[in-house]
Chains A and B, each alone.
Chain A
Amino acid sequence: MEDFLSLRRFSVGYPDRVVLQNIDLEILRGEILTVIGPNGAGKSTLLKSISGQLALLGGSVVMQGEDLGKCSAVERARKMAVVLTEHIRPEYMSCREVVSAGRYPYTGRMGILQPRDKEIVEEAMARMKVTELAERDFNAISDGQKQRVLVARAIAQDTPVLLLDEPTSYLDLRYRTELMETLKGLAREGRTVLMSLHEIDLALEVSDRILCVQEGKSVWCGSPREVLEQDRIRDLFGMPGEMYEKLFRETKSRLCGSDAVSDHTFFTNRSCKYFPCHKGADPEKFNCLFCYCPLYAMGPGCGGNYRLTRNGVKDCTGCLVPHRRENYERIMEKLRARNRAVSKTAAATADVQFPDTTLRQVISDIDSPSKEMLELVRGDLSRLAMPPGSLGKIETTAARMAAIQKPRSVTAKQAVNMTKGLTGMSSIAAQRGDEVQVVDVGIATPYECAQVLDRRIRLGTDNIVKGPAMTTEEAEKAVMTGVSLAYQAFVEDVDIVGVGEMGIGNTTTSAAVISVLTGAEPSKVTGFGGGITEQAYLHKVQCVQRAIEVNKPNVEDPLDVLAKVGGFDLAAMCGVFLGCAKYGIPAVIDGVISAAAALCAVKMCPACRDYLFPSHQSVEPGYMAAMEALGIEPWFKLDMRLGEGSGCTMSFAVMEAACAILERMATFEKAGIDDSYLEEIREAEKKELE
């Protein structure tokens, strides 16, 4: 990583107007530097001056020690390619010809393309996904397509520096995020990307550094984190504080908040000072792929000095196996060995005397609640002092609850929370007095918490994009872990079980499972999860698609689906649902992951459905797909997506109310009301039921 492109006492503007002056900036190789600023701040002027399109008012652009102002046009064109904002209308040029124009600085006198040039052109087109447009007339394609072709042209110019003036204009969501991915890829290859963007969130996401410009003021350059920490955007755009807070609070807390500490996992530690992917870190010191030493889980044996930095990054220096990329395979090998050891001990230390049974046995044991009981309760309900059906779903719930259990007052005692739930859920549960049991079925990150029941199958599943998440044996073991938890609840006289979870990346596995079991398109059932960006979303959809393509799960065999594209949490939750059905405990479905698990359970054993109760409607698109497949309608719409079983507690209240009416509500006889006028409605309802 060396200084690569420097602006020295750089002043830009027009003969009659200085826009920005005395900029000194060192830009690194492979860096993405984004210029942001309000309209008219001089973003384009700055970029045009760097590209040489505008004459400089002062200073110089130096690239690898060479003053670009003194280069010939062709030399400069071999160093820097541009995408401009202006429209071009070449007559009768195919898109391939436009992209080929990028090879100009390399071709001979007559501009004839050599085979190597053609290869580069095709590569660039493939990269920007415009290969199928190659023969089309450039003027006949849409603005978004044109933009992609122009970016491909710049890529084909094969320069160490790419200069893009608002490259996202005209691009729709998908191509915008794909373009950002492409740019990141180019940066990883060592190309420097300099661009201006209007989309601040996108800029914060992809940039290594951000350059804030404002006409007549001095420029400021810093990491996205610093931009947020110092509220640069508010000042830059002169936003009212309230507006700024509203727009950027979330981003800010995500990128630099202290609660970022709680999610320093493999995938999402954006607060890591080397995020993304430790680019810019000194490779000799710390260049592990993730933000903590993966060997830490091996206990104190890693030999490194392990300390939590202010950013919540676990920094491991002097580790036994130096955290360099070259060592990645060795590190992973050790980790795998450790995982194998953990799964053995987990099996040995099962602490509930759970009757020795098999999944097959559990499934065949499950019966639907008796129809007679259902009828009986309906009869009871019709004698209540109210017009039939006026309590709506509470009534039907009462009937179903009564059919499952003996009619009695119910207090939900326990929510089985599959992985780790010490935040939102616990406060809601505490308010209601519900118990929360947190069970760990496979947290890969090390932690210390006595309240968590350790039922780890192993430390994290495998990457479902590359192969099965786990073996079928492991899947069955996870399901049986869930059944054993339901058994435990049964033993402890728990009235209702709510099944939630917390995990990272498990909306992805859920989407995959739901997609397979319902036959829905991955894009239709994949959502934004706990709060990811648009491009991460697209990546997620691709992951789901890949996972299904790679693993080819058997739709007829839910266990196979769980093993191949699911996760330990899904499998265990599926087991809890099955167990609840077996032991006659009403079980409440929480969010999308819970719904995916319930779907697996019902696919394994249709009778299980009668024990399931909905809660809130998750905003995750997969949720509704799963619920429709289950034939269960959610009760509330609270726009929740936290998970952790937080929605379940709401349902507990409804279910308690349902049981309460059976017990406490005065019957018509007791109230002494003549109810003959209701006879007709009862008749009608009876007919409807038949």
Chain B
Amino acid sequence: MFAALAAAMLVGALLCTVLGSVSIAPGKVAEILLGGGSGAERNILTQIRLPRMCMTVLLGGALAVSGYLLQTFFGNPIAGPYVLGISSGAKLAVCAALLFVAGGERQSSGLLMILAAFGGALVTTGAIVLLSHRVRHMASLLAAGIMVGYICNAVTDFLVTFAEDAQIVNLRGWSQGTFSGMDWGDVAAAAAIVTAAMVLTVLCSKPIGAFELGEAYAASMGVDVKRYRVILILLSSLLSACVTAFAGPVSFVGIAVPFLMRKLLRSSRPPVMVPACFLSGAVFCLYSDLIARMAFAPTELGISTVTSLLGAPVVIYMLAVRKR
């Protein structure tokens, strides 16, 4: 299973580097990587395609793992950063930051966006967690998450309505979600965050597994529930905030991928699921990105457009087959 995923990832990565408005033959790719090749092709590959491909892998994986963590924490397979309104919260924060802090500068700093998205994601997650203690039913929690999302979107729209086009031009592109325009600096930053979060996640896989039986049982088995509740939320927020900050809100990867993995592996144990989710999230995003770029070339689709089209049917199927 893991071998298949790794192979799919390699093929996807190769396709992502080879295909594009200028196709570069695989042989050429190897040549460029080894230091040769002509200027234009070399630039396309090293400055555009390779960073984008790496980013897609990192962020796709992060999204799926973030979704998995949220699902475990809420004990609900439909929980995910997008569904719970976390992405919308991040978007609101990014929007506010662009308008009020960056003061409409076109060259808004990546760091600001990341911080804003992270803060927004965290605040929204906090709100959801508070709600989850108030409401007993997970169904109503999901509804609450969706409502929180609506509120954030409404506020965002409100801000956008009164903003000047120039101020929010970045937001437009950002809120559609895209892996384009990544440079190696972004990749390094994302890699640092994702790696750190992933290491922590793997270290916490034992208590995360205990959460499968619900919080009450987890507590009775010796999990410091309060502590891990915070850690889990921080981790998933960190991961999804990272994605949101760099690529904008990317929908459905967080739900569809862990679901598919559970179904395929027939397991929900963290030691299996965390790497599986990461790999398959990367694969899912690689191919989605490929489709986004290639399907209507030269027009590029938003990544969410593709992931929604691919992921939403999975969620619908999931709702339909769930036994209650």
**Which residues of chain A have a CB within 8 Å of any CB of chain B?**
51-53, 72-78, 80-82, 84, 86, 88-93, 97-98, 101-102, 104-105, 107, 109-111, 137, 139, 157
Contact = CB atoms under 8 A, between A and B. Distances in A.
B205 A111 contact: yes
A53 B219 contact: yes
A92 B221 contact: no
A89 B216 CA distance: 13
Contacts of A137: 266
Contact of B221 (A88, A93, A110, A157): A157
Contacts of A102: 221
A149 to B, nearest CB: 11
Interface in B197-250: 203, 205-206, 209-210, 212-214, 216-217, 219-225
A88 B268 contact: no
B271 interface: yes
Given A82-B216, A84-B217, 19 more contacts: A52-B219, A73-B222, A73-B224, A73-B225, A75-B222, A80-B220, A81-B220, A86-B214, A88-B213, A91-B77, A91-B212, A91-B268, A92-B266, A102-B221, A104-B206, A104-B210, A105-B222, A110-B271, A111-B205
Given A91-B77, A93-B268, A107 B220 contact: no
8 contacts: A72-B222, A77-B222, A81-B220, A90-B213, A92-B265, A104-B221, A105-B221, A105-B222
B212 A51 contact: no
Nearest to B227: A73
Contacts of B221: 77, 101-102, 104-105, 157
Nearest to B222: A77
A457 B271 CA distance: 69
A142 B77 CA distance: 21
B222 A104 contact: yes
A333 to B, nearest CB: 49
B222 A90 contact: no
A109 B208 CA distance: 12
Contact of B220 (A51, A72, A75, A98): A51
Nearest to A89: B75
A136 B250 CA distance: 36
B320 to A, nearest CB: 16
Task: Give the bracket for the number of chain B residues in contact with chain A.
Answer: 20 to 34
B269 A97 contact: yes
B220 A111 contact: no
Nearest to B324: A89
Contacts of A107: 206
B28 interface: no
Nearest to B209: A111
Contacts of A77: 220-222
Contacts of A105: 221-222
Contact of B268 (A72, A92, A110): A92
Contacts, number: 78
Interface string B285-324: 0000000000000000000000000000000000000010
A84 B222 CA distance: 15
A88 B75 CA distance: 9
B46 to A, nearest CB: 39
Nearest to A140: B323
Nearest to A110: B206
B267 interface: yes
A157 B209 CA distance: 16
Interchain residue pairs A-B with the least CB separation, the first 5: A77-B222, A111-B206, A74-B222, A104-B221, A105-B222
B277 to A, nearest CB: 13
Contacts of A88: 213-214, 217
B73 to A, nearest CB: 13
Nearest to A98: B213
Contacts of B265: 92
Contact of A86 (B212, B216, B269, B323): B216
Contact of B210 (A52, A82, A86, A101): A101
Nearest to B212: A90
Contacts of B266: 92, 137
B269 A73 contact: no
A130 to B, nearest CB: 16
B314 to A, nearest CB: 15
A92 B213 contact: no
B268 A82 contact: no
A92 B222 contact: no
A139 B268 contact: no
A51 B217 CA distance: 11
A48 to B, nearest CB: 8
Nearest to A88: B214
Q: Which of A51, A84, A92 has the most CB of B within 10 A?
A: A92
A576 B236 CA distance: 83
A171 B262 CA distance: 30
B223 A73 contact: yes
Given A52-B219, A80-B220, A105-B222, A92 B267 contact: yes
B222 A82 contact: no
Q: Which of A53, A74, A88, A104 has the most CB of B within 10 A?
A: A104
A51 B218 CA distance: 12
Nearest to B203: A109
A131 B273 CA distance: 26
A139 B265 CA distance: 16
A198 to B, nearest CB: 20
A414 to B, nearest CB: 67
A111 B220 CA distance: 16
A93 B212 contact: yes
Nearest to A74: B222
A82 B209 contact: no
A360 to B, nearest CB: 68
